[in-house]
Amino acid sequence: MLNLMHFLPLNKLTIFAALLSISFLSYSKTLYVSADAMVDVKNGKLVKSPVLVIENDTIVKIVKQGKVDIPVEADHLDLQGQTLLPGFMDMHVHLTSDPTKHGYKRLSSSIPRQALFGVTSAKKTLMAGFTTVRNLGATGYADIALRDAINDGDVIGPRMFVAGPSLSITGGHCDNNLLPPEFKVTATGVANGPWAVRQKVRENIKYGADVIKFCATGGVLSKGTKVGAQQFSQEEMNAIVSEANLRGLVSAAHAHGTEGIKAAIKAGVTTVEHASFLDKEAIKLAKKYGTYFSMDIYTTEYILSEGEKAGILQESLDKERVVGGKQRESFRQAVKAGVKMVFGSDAGVYPHGDNGQQFSRMVQFGMTPMQAIQAGTINPATMLKIDGKLGSLSEGKLADIVAVKGNPLEDMLLLADVSVVIKDGKIVKQ
Ligand code: ARG
């Protein structure tokens, strides 16, 4: 620019600048979206007859119908009978995991194959209205490749915040325990001891992680782990979370068992995933530390009905019979106590694109419809500290919008069947 100014006389420079701004303007596009209603998640109410004015990727204005002149030639999405909501956010998915391949069946998918599977899952997830997801664990760095492909525009999918390989103790829930010792299989995220886990956090960040996921307790789907037993020690969890904090990343702990949940909270983790076996003290601690719970209370239905066909081990099915019911009770208690909640589905264990089914279960187990919608919109945005740009339909925020046919506050099942999806101001489903 400096060089140009040097060579161009003033009058030519002015013309050049004017041309520049004209060509810029011709890229700017206005889209009007009107509907019967809009869910205002910030104020917890339904707003009637809104018109959203979208310029490029941003909502620039929200007004009542009749209060704005919509030019006849304008791009206008007139959604009569429909309700607008902010793009949904799922804080626990595994886009590169195939829900029809569990247990030993999963061993046949290479990391590149998993990345390619993620392409299809990403599209299904976006079409289901989820415009932002947090991917909590993938083999290799397949999720990081997928995020980058979406950001580069090579692949269509939600905005992704990714963990890379989950941290685990040797033989823990996030190790791979399926094969006998002579195969020498160890998952990428395995590390033991405070310095080793710090090093693992640094490695994940080096290769592009946005969030640090670690397995604090055993799990349902892993071979040979006790779902209720703690795995990382308090000291190790402290090291993981403090290293993540140091680098400005949020952290997520897979934790079913009570003691592991408490240790993760005390370490200062951002979200506890699953949080199945809660007691009064765990709930009190979460409130004290401001910890979010991300409870996948829909998964159990798929595991128990389709799991066996998909290759889920018998021992895992047995564990699920205990965990599923207890987790739903815990969810009710946590909601009642007012613990902060984000929507987390664990999609990948069950089919991608079915994420929205969980909204109705969240109401069935104790939330109001508005609370469940907030858990899937504004709460995750606040937790990820992106609420200045996302999480609600507000002037100045990015235009991530979904529409459903009817009033979701009266029928939460509508959220599992969205009719329109807009991401970054672009209509991706209509
Ligand atoms: N990934 C989790 C695990 O293996 C799935 C738990 C699903 N069950 C449930 N009731 N939420 O532990």
What's the per-residue H, E or C state across the chain?
CHHHHHHCCHHHHHHHHHHHHHHHHHHCCEEEEEEEEEEECCCCEEEECEEEEEECCEEEEEEECCCCCCCCCCEEEEEEEEEEEECEEEEEECCCCCCCCCHHHHHHCCHHHHHHHHHHHHHHHHHCCEEEEEECCCCCCHHHHHHHHHHCCCCCCCEEEECCCCEECCCCCCCCCCCCHHHCCCCCCECCCHHHHHHHHHHHHHCCCCEEEEECECCCCCCCCCCCCECCCHHHHHHHHHHHHHCCCEEEEEECCHHHHHHHHHHCCCEEEECCCCCHHHHHHHHHHCCEEECCCCHHHHHHHHCCCCCCCHHHHHHHHHHHHHHHHHHHHHHHHCCEEECCCCECCECCCCCCHHHHHHHHCCCCHHHHHHHCCHHHHHHCCCCCCCCCCCCCCECCEEEEECCCCCCHHHHHCCCEEEECCEEEEC
Burial of 66 (0-12, 13-18, 19+ CB in 10 A): exposed
Q: State both tokens at 329.
A: 């009770």
Identify the pLDDT of residue 342. 99
- 315-347 in b/e burial notation, b at 16+ Cβ within 10 A? ebeebbeebbeebbebbbbbbeeebbbbbbbbb
Q: Which amino acid is at 105?
A: K
Flag whether pLDDT at 207 surpasses 80: yes
Flag whether pLDDT at 11 surpasses 60: no
Q: Is the CB of 168 under 6 A from ligand 1?
A: no
Q: Is the CB of 97 under 6 A from ligand 1?
A: no
Closest CA to 212 of 246, 187, 235: 246
Q: What is the pLDDT of residues 210-222, one digit of tens each?
A: 999 999 999 999 9
Q: Say how many Å lie between the CA of residue 96 and the centre of ligand 1.
A: 17
Flag whether pLDDT at 180 surpasses 80: yes
Q: Is the CB of 131 under 6 A from ligand 1?
A: no
Q: Is the CB of 376 under 6 A from ligand 1?
A: no
Q: Say how many Å lie between the CA of residue 371 and the centre of ligand 1.
A: 23
Q: Say how many Å lie between the CA of residue 420 and the centre of ligand 1.
A: 30
Q: Say how many Å lie between the CA of residue 319 and the centre of ligand 1.
A: 9
Name the phi and psi angles at 84, rounded to 5: -95, 145
Q: Say how many Å lie between the CA of residue 275 and the centre of ligand 1.
A: 10
Which atom belonging to ligand 1 lies closest to the Cα atom of 222? 4
Instruction: Tell the residue nearest (CA) to atom 10 of ligand 1.
Output: 324
Flag whether pLDDT at 13 surpasses 90: no
Q: Is the CB of 273 under 6 A from ligand 1?
A: no
Flag whether pLDDT at 19 surpasses 80: no
Q: Is the CB of 93 under 6 A from ligand 1?
A: no
Identify the pLDDT of residue 28. 59
Q: Is the CB of 77 under 6 A from ligand 1?
A: no
Q: Is the CB of 215 under 6 A from ligand 1?
A: no
Identify the pLDDT of residue 385. 98
Q: Is the CB of 416 under 6 A from ligand 1?
A: no
Q: Is the CB of 102 under 6 A from ligand 1?
A: no
Instruction: Tell the residue nearest (CA) to atom 6 of ligand 1.
Output: 220
Q: Is the CB of 300 under 6 A from ligand 1?
A: yes
Q: Is the CB of 212 under 6 A from ligand 1?
A: no
Instruction: Tell the residue nearest (CA) to atom 8 of ligand 1.
Output: 300
Nearest-10 Cα torsion for 381, 393, 368, 281:
20
pTM of the model: 0.93
Which atom belonging to ligand 1 lies closest to the Cα atom of 327? 10
Name the phi and psi angles at 209, rounded to 5: -70, 145
4 or 78: which leads in pLDDT: 78
- Average confidence (pLDDT) over 399-421: 98
Q: In which band, very low, low, confident or very high, does the pLDDT at 29 lie, cut at 50, 70 and 90?
A: confident
CA-CA distance, 240 to 187, in Å (whole number)? 17
Q: What is the pLDDT of residues 144-167, one digit of tens each?
A: 999 999 999 999 999 999 999 999
Identify the pLDDT of residue 24. 42
Q: Is the CB of 323 under 6 A from ligand 1?
A: yes
